[in-house]
Structure 1
Amino acid sequence: MLTHQMKNRARATLLAAAASLATLAGAATAHADTDINLVLNWKYQGPQGLLFLAEDNGYFEEEGLNVNMDQGNGSGAAVPLVANGAYDMGFGDINALIELAARNSEEAPVGVFMIYNQPPFTIAVRADSPIESPADLAGKSLGGPANDGALKLFPAFCARSEADCSDIDVSNMQPNLREQMLMQGQVDGVFGYVNTIRFSSKLLGINPDEEIRFIRYGDYGMDLYSNAIIVSKEFAAENPEAVEGFVRAINKSIKDAIADPEAAIESVRQREGLINVEVERERFDATLTDEMSHPELAEVGLGNIDEARMAQAIEILVEANDLPRTPAVSEVFDASFLPERSELLNSVQ
């Protein structure tokens, strides 16, 4: 028979356990209230399936996150939208981030998960054009969306390739008119990402392999990174666990998408029913090959960066664009939110 003292101890133990459970439940509830507003790089297309499966497979929910992902209007546009507080996070061009960090370090976001580790930037010209190299651009007309990453990097490309760009006429155009204006001869070349132009052309009935020539920035000494998950410094400082949880969820989502591309494309179709599933699957596959397959993955893993390579990329941009200062790698990318190295992919093929 229990003594009065033993009963009191048992009651105290139960109360302590209940209090502990209540504390944990309260913490979980607070974590579940963490909202994240994220702006994508572009419209809903095949590659966005890399991110959408994090929601569809319940990974955001597991991390206690309520994530809203909005369509974007260019990789470069995501950076100021995160910097000015319109969004907490974005999928944006790390090079635009570097430029902002050089001009205003406090305002600039920081990269936390590198997805596009190869430079996709290009100038596309018609296959029958006399333009075959940067040296042939003198006196020509080029156009692109105002927030396009390749357009923003054009001064750096001119400097790096030693092309005379002083008399090139550069104009802005709506993204949905880019390929039409090129093929109709309204401009001599257009700025963009290789696969964006390639597959937008296919949707218009243009054969990019026969009718378009690509002058790729990477072929002219611009071994740059491209799109990363970026986060405002303020949000990261106030919600470090949420950022870690988001990165974990995206890492799982990318693994799922690569293992089952059909599911990734279906996740896009669920959000945009008018996509051409066949073309978007091709776009997805080409993105893995052309934009996510840098050899450094075997060393650092998908999501991380090679610090020496990033430092060189920063130097390229600072010199070519005559930026006021050279940001440190740590101002541009923070690897502390990444999962353990063993959790990162060594290859996407």
Structure 2
Amino acid sequence: MKRTATALLLSTALLFAATGCGGDDSSDAGSDGGNKSVTLTLNWVPYGEHAPFYYGLKKGYYAAEGIDLKIQPGNGSGNTIKQVAQKQTEFGWADSPALLKSVASGMPVRSLGSYLEKGPASVEFFADKNIKTPADLKGKTVGGTPGDALYATFPAWLEKNGLKQSDVKVVNVDAAGKIAALAEGKVDAIMGFFHDQAPTIENKTGKKVEVLLFADYGMNLLGTGLVANTETLEKDPELARKFVRATQKSWTEAAKDAPGAVSAMSELAENEPPAEVLTKQLALALPLIGTDAAPGVNTDAQWSETVDLMARYAELKNPGAPTAYWDASYATQG
């Protein structure tokens, strides 16, 4: 199990932020004197998608905005959002479908932008299964976790691609056990986030993994993004603006320097994946950002599609407009 970073690790991270020892952008790093301590809780234990945050920490982008950033691991998007709602963490990094469900349940939270505009939801399998299209899933067993958005929308995704629900046998598997179920041959495929899991599975098994993305076959759900408490946004909107500004810069610059982002995460994160796995995960995550806008800048149409899919297939009650879940005013083109 991953653990929260130690005090020594955090001291090292802040030293980098204050002195600019991390690289060429040292001029961007501000003094940590008087900076505000801010915690970001991830959606899961550290993996490649999170490298831009560590890159921004090392380069001093957060310090330049007056923020002393602490990054801590999470235990699922739902739990991260709950921590934001209960003010146990200033900001969260969580999956957008989970954010929609949380808002619908009454939690005082909003998205400040989804950074993975092309959702990573997928069906993953070993290459030797010879699955090339959704039609090839007929007669196969697929592991999924009840309660998550992938599981909820999977039947509709099958139907959208010409299959009946009865054509595929769905096996209920705990989230922590899906990779083992696939590796041990208990299922032919699993539902999951390919950019995280596929490199991990390949590293563990030595076998090539292939995927079918929901988004490539007619169903895109926005992926992970920043989450804040509505009271924080009301009382200290400037903090949110600064945090989003530093995060946008971190993601923009990390996309230009993936090796540097991997190096920063390897140095500052605790119990992160091996560097080769981390590198593959980040390489798969970056194209999901999209190219039409700055990271975290979304459109009403993108959010409307996700809201509609969740309302139709994942029991999102009284869905309302995208603005019920997402505040577009914080993530700007810069």
TM band (smaller chain): 0.7 to 0.9
- Work out the CA distance in 2 between the residues paired with 1:231 and 1:309: 20
Amino acid at match of 2:89: Y
2:230 pairs with 233, 253, 257, which one?
Answer: 233
Structure 1 residues 192 and 48, CA, compared in 2 at 3 Å: closer, same or farther? same
5+ residue gaps in structure 1? 1-28, 344-349
1:111 correspondence with 2:107: no
Note if contact 1:32-1:65 (Cα within 8 Å) is conserved in structure 2.
Answer: no
Q: Which residue of 2 aligns with 1:259?
A: 256
More deviation, 154-163/240-249: 154-163
Correspondences of 1:162-173 after superposition (within 5 Å): 163-165=163-165, 168-173=169-174
What count of residue pairs does the alignment treat as equivalent?
Answer: 301
* TM-score (norm: length of structure 2): 0.78
Q: Which residue of 2 aligns with 1:199?
A: 199
1:224 correspondence with 2:221: yes
Note if contact 2:113-2:226 (Cα within 8 Å) is conserved in structure 1.
Answer: yes
Note if contact 1:156-1:321 (Cα within 8 Å) is conserved in structure 2.
Answer: no
More deviation, 149-158/116-125: 149-158
- Tell me which protein shows more helix as a share of its residues: 1
- Work out the CA distance in 1 between the residues paired with 2:80 and 2:156: 20
Rg: which structure is higher? Answer: 1
Structure 1 residues 213 and 199, CA, compared in 2 at 3 Å: closer, same or farther? closer
Structure 1 residues 77 and 163, CA, compared in 2 at 3 Å: closer, same or farther? farther
Deviation at 1:133, TM superposition (A): 5.1
Tell me the SS of whatever aligns to 1:59.
coil
Deviation at 1:136, TM superposition (A): 6.1
2:42 pairs with 31, 40, 46, which one?
Answer: 40
- Work out the CA distance in 2 between the residues paired with 1:77 and 1:153: 21
Deviation sequence 1:230-259 (CA, Å, 0-9, x none):
112122222211111101111221222122
Tell me the SS of whatever aligns to 1:231.
strand
Structure 1 residues 73 and 62, CA, compared in 2 at 3 Å: closer, same or farther? same
Note if contact 2:144-2:172 (Cα within 8 Å) is conserved in structure 1.
Answer: yes
1:94 pairs with 93, 96, 104, which one?
Answer: 96
- Work out the CA distance in 1 between the residues paired with 2:212 and 2:53: 29
Deviation at 1:144, TM superposition (A): 4.4
1:303 pairs with 283, 296, 303, which one?
Answer: 296
Tell me the SS of whatever aligns to 2:124.
strand
1:331 pairs with 320, 324, 327, which one?
Answer: 324
Deviation at 1:184, TM superposition (A): 1.9
Note if contact 1:109-1:233 (Cα within 8 Å) is conserved in structure 2.
Answer: yes
Q: Which residue of 2 aligns with 1:249?
A: 246
Amino acid at match of 2:279: R
Q: Which residue of 2 aligns with 1:49?
A: 51
Note if contact 2:143-2:171 (Cα within 8 Å) is conserved in structure 1.
Answer: yes
Q: Which residue of 1 aligns with 2:125?
A: 125
Runs of 4+, deviation exceeding 6 Å: none
Structure 1 residues 41 and 162, CA, compared in 2 at 3 Å: closer, same or farther? farther
- Work out the CA distance in 2 between the residues paired with 1:171 and 1:155: 14
Deviation at 1:81, TM superposition (A): 3.3
Tell me the SS of whatever aligns to 2:329.
helix
Structure 1 residues 322 and 113, CA, compared in 2 at 3 Å: closer, same or farther? closer
Deviation sequence 1:138-161 (CA, Å, 0-9, x none):
775433466765335435535644
Tell me the SS of whatever aligns to 2:62.
helix
Structure 1 residues 260 and 138, CA, compared in 2 at 3 Å: closer, same or farther? closer
1:314 pairs with 283, 293, 307, which one?
Answer: 307
Structure 1 residues 206 and 150, CA, compared in 2 at 3 Å: closer, same or farther? farther
Structure 1 residues 239 and 121, CA, compared in 2 at 3 Å: closer, same or farther? same
Could you say what the CA RMSD is over the residues aligned between the two structures, in angstroms?
3.0
5+ residue gaps in structure 2? 1-30
Deviation at 1:309, TM superposition (A): 2.6
Deviation sequence 1:289-320 (CA, Å, 0-9, x none):
2x22x3xx32x432211212321221122112
Deviation sequence 1:185-240 (CA, Å, 0-9, x none):
112321211122220022214232xxx34232113321221111111212222221
More deviation, 236-245/157-166: 157-166
